[in-house]
């Protein structure tokens, strides 16, 4: 028996994280035993992700608009935003640098001896094409939607953030005249969250289909000689969470281990779907229950999904240097600095969607001046990227949760009693 937040008891088999864990195990088993059948179940995972993603834009819009409007002070909204961005940049830089340091110490690519001329660029042509469109200017212009409603309808996260902030600022500026609109938006937000609650119950089915397809399509044997890179990435991400985020959490007054236990449901859903976007709405609700103010949660969580991607940052520098070592390229200190700087820019907006990290890696390689590492070298990690995407998403999720608590504490709007009770509840 387990105790829920409401204090009631329910059988262990009705707990969401147990159901998701069992579904993941069954999906892996099916992928090994009947790979063709497993591959045909890909639509289950895709359907679940699509159901969640269709709600993300309206949820973010309502949450951010209500958050800014409820502050009643544009100065406060700006202050929270600046604090959040400061935290994001510090954490992102640490993640990028750690990826470089680990690659230099572990040398996961040394010994491969790959001749760049033998690589097949056609295998990553799709990613390279997407990366070519990802220039800084194009990235900035793409934030502006073709119309006000198109941002929400299209589901673009950065575009939704833009119109949400503008709308929240406008409502705050109008004062009492816009209060009825604020109430309507708050009510709509509650409705959207209720819909999310119904969809999340399907998480075990989605996780089963996604994991079955992954193992059926790529197989456990696809790890092969690249197991060293996968293990290095997972261990580095784990080290980042425990040491870096753990230290930050300790300074903020809570345990990173208890926090991870608190969001175990969300972590397992992300593990099954390889996308942190599938739990964005639930994370926002859980951060409020943890004691963070609604206004801070409404600004930090959605923004963090575009600007605070610790797992993606570790992946980019670690994998870039792995590829350099694999093709025997020698990098100068200046090129290391350029890799970190370019990765810092290309990572922005690469939200927790499966494959986004791989496209971002292509953009990083393509943007490095006189790069000795060809984009075609990505073919070396194409087969294992799906296994690495889970780790990227998991690390991103934990990082954004910690960021929310820290910014709430900085703003003096963290309920320490709720934080303690939620993390220590049996």
The DSSP code sequence of 271-310 is HHHS-GGGGHHHHHHHHHHTTB-HHHHHHHHHHHHHH--H
**How far apart are the C-alpha atoms of 117 and 202, rounded to whole Å?**
47
Per-residue model confidence as pLDDT tens digits over 408-422: 999 888 999 999 999
Per-residue model confidence as pLDDT tens digits over 201-238: 888 898 888 888 878 876 766 555 567 888 999 999 99
Handedness of CA 341, 238, 222, 219 (dihedral sign): negative
Single out the residue of 398, 327, 314, 399 nearest to residue 364, CA to CA.
314
- Is the confidence at residue 287, as pLDDT, over 90? yes
Helices 203-218 and 16-33, packing angle to 10 deg: 30
Q: Are 165 and 66 in contact (CB under 8 A)?
A: no
pLDDT of the residue at 254 = 94
pLDDT of the residue at 418 = 93
Query: What CA dihedral angle connects 343, 315, 145 and 148, to 10 degrees?
Result: -130
Helix (H) or strand (E) holding 342: helix 333-346
Mean pLDDT of 194-200: 84
**How far apart are the C-alpha atoms of 361 and 359, rounded to whole Å?**
5
Single out the residue of 263, 223, 229 nearest to residue 399, CA to CA.
263
Query: In the structure encoding, which two tokens stand for residue 227, read together?
Result: 């197991």
Query: In the structure encoding, which two tokens stand for residue 122, read together?
Result: 């056609």
What is the domain range of residue 327? 2-424
pLDDT of the residue at 414 = 92
Note the residue count of the chain: 426
**How far apart are the C-alpha atoms of 244 and 237, rounded to whole Å?**
10
Helix (H) or strand (E) holding 315: helix 310-326
- Of 27-31, 110-114, 403-407, the range with the lowest mean pLDDT is 110-114
Single out the residue of 56, 65, 59 nearest to residue 183, CA to CA.
65
Mean pLDDT of 177-182: 83
Q: Are 308 and 315 in contact (CB under 8 A)?
A: no
pLDDT of the residue at 6 = 47
Domain count, the chain: 1
**How far apart are the C-alpha atoms of 292 and 404, rounded to whole Å?**
7
Res. 137 pLDDT band, cuts 50 70 90 = low
Single out the residue of 397, 408, 395 nearest to residue 253, CA to CA.
408
Res. 352 pLDDT band, cuts 50 70 90 = very low
The percent of residues in the chain predicted with pLDDT above 70, rounded, is: 80
> What are the backbone angles phi and psi of residue 270, rounded to the nearest 5°?
-65, -40
- Is the confidence at residue 15, as pLDDT, over 80? no
Question: Residue 55's CB: how many other CB atoms inside 10 A?
Answer: 17
Per-residue model confidence as pLDDT tens digits over 230-269: 899 999 999 999 999 999 999 999 999 999 999 998 998 8
Helix (H) or strand (E) holding 2: strand 2-3
The percent of residues in the chain predicted with pLDDT above 90, rounded, is: 22
In 3-state terms, what secondary structure has residue 415? coil
* DSSP notation for 21-74: HHHHHHHHHHHHH-HHHHHTTHHHHHHHHHHHHHHHHHHHHHHHHHHHHHH--H
Q: How many helices (H) and strands (E) does the chain have?
A: 21, 2
In 3-state terms, what secondary structure has residue 3? strand
Q: What is the overall mean pLDDT for the chain?
A: 80
Residue 2: beta bridge partners?
10
Q: What is the CATH number of the domain that holds 415?
A: 1.10.3860.10
């Amino acid at each position: 028996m387990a105790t829920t937040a409401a204090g009631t008891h329910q059988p262990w088999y009705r707990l969401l994280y147990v159901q998701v864990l069992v579904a993941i195990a069954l999906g892996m088993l099916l992928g090994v035993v009947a790979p063709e059948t497993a591959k045909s179940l890909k639509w289950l995972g895709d359907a679940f992700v699509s159901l969640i993603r269709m709600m993300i834009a309206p949820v973010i819009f309502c949450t951010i608009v209500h958050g800014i409007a409820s502050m009643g002070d544009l100065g406060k909204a700006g202050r929270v935003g600046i604090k959040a961005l400061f935290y994001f940049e510090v954490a992102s830089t640490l993640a990028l640098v750690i990826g470089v340091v680990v690659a230099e110490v572990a040398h996961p690519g040394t010994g491969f001896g790959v001749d760049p001329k033998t690589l097949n660029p056609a295998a990553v042509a799709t990613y390279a094409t997407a990366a070519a469109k990802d220039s800084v200017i194009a990235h900035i212009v793409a934030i502006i939607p073709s119309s006000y409603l198109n941002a929400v309808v299209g589901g673009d996260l950065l575009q939704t953030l833009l119109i949400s902030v503008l709308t929240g600022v406008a409502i705050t500026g109008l004062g009492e005249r816009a209060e009825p609109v604020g109430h309507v938006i708050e009510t709509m937000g509650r409705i959207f969250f209720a819909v999310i609650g119904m969809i999340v119950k399907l998480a075990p089915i989605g996780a089963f289909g996604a994991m079955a397809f992954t193992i059926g399509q790529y197989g456990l044997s696809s790890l092969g000689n690249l197991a060293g890179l996968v293990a290095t990435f997972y261990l580095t991400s784990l080290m980042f969470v425990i040491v870096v985020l753990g230290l930050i959490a300790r300074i903020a007054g809570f345990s990173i281990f208890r926090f991870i236990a608190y969001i175990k449901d969300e972590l397992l859903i992300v593990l099954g779907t390889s996308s942190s976007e599938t739990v964005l709405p639930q994370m926002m609700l859980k951060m409020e229950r943890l004691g963070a103010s609604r206004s801070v949660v409404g600004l930090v969580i959605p923004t963090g999904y575009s600007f605070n991607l610790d797992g993606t940052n570790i992946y980019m520098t670690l994998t870039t240097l792995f590829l350099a070592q694999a093709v025997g390229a020698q990098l100068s200190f200046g090129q290391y600095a350029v890799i970190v700087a370019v990765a810092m820019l290309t990572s922005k907006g690469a939200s927790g969607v499966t494959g986004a990290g791989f496209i971002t890696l292509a953009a990083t390689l393509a943007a490095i001046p006189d790069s000795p590492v060809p984009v075609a070298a990505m073919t070396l990690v194409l087969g294992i990227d799906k296994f690495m995407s889970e780790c990227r998403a998991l690390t991103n999720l934990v990082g954004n949760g910690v960021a929310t608590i820290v910014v709430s504490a900085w703003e003096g709007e963290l309920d320490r009693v709720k934080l303690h009770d939620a993390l220590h509840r049996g």
